[in-house]
């Protein structure tokens, strides 16, 4: 795979592999970032996802330490559902954070976002294992 960096900020980096149609996203959100900035990052990420329309997404949250507030989780889910009407994601692999509270926030988002079971989600501890699963056919 040949990932090309397509977007980078203080909080998130995105890499695209055209051949496999995998979008790799690396989160780097500090625990003390503002709610407003976090929402801006989410909107930027959704726009990028719509632009590339990946089949599969690899989300690395090992350095995602921001604790998502319940009302923001609801807001994210609404935005995510709108995105899913435009992008048909097949699989999403998550590299999990060791920060327990941040991981609970992401898990809540995953559970809520996938309530309609429109795509498969798996958790991993390494990019290698996650990519293997994403690239499996069927």
Q: What is the pLDDT of residues 87-100, one digit of tens each?
A: 999 999 989 865 55
* pLDDT confidence of residue 60: 94
* pLDDT confidence of residue 101: 46
pLDDT in tens, 35-89: 999 999 999 999 999 999 999 999 998 898 898 889 998 999 899 888 988 999 9
Given strand 120-124, what is the order of strands in its sheet? 4-8, 12-17, 22-27, 56-60, 91-95, 120-124
Mean pLDDT of 30-39: 96
- pLDDT at residue 32 greater than cutoff 60: yes
- pLDDT at residue 108 greater than cutoff 90: no
CA distances from 96 to 63, 81, 130 (A): 9, 22, 11
Query: What are the helix (H) ranges across the chain?
Result: 35-52, 70-84, 100-113, 127-135
Q: Model pTM?
A: 0.86
What are the structure tokens assigned to 12, written together? Answer: 């998130």
């Amino acid at each position: 795979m040949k990932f090309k960096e397509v977007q980078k900020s203080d909080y998130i980096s995105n890499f695209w592999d055209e051949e496999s149609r995998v979008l790799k996203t690396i989160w780097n959100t500090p625990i003390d970032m503002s709610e407003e900035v976090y929402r801006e990052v989410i909107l930027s990420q959704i726009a990028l996802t719509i632009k590339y329309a990946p089949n599969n997404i690899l989300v690395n949250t090992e350095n995602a330490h921001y604790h998502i507030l319940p009302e923001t989780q609801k807001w994210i889910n609404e935005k995510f559902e709108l995105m899913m009407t435009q992008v048909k994601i097949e699989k999403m692999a998550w590299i999990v954070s060791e920060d327990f509270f941040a991981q609970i926030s992401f898990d809540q988002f995953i559970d809520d976002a996938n309530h309609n079971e429109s795509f498969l989600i798996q958790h991993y501890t390494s990019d290698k294992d996650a990519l293997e699963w994403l690239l499996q056919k069927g």
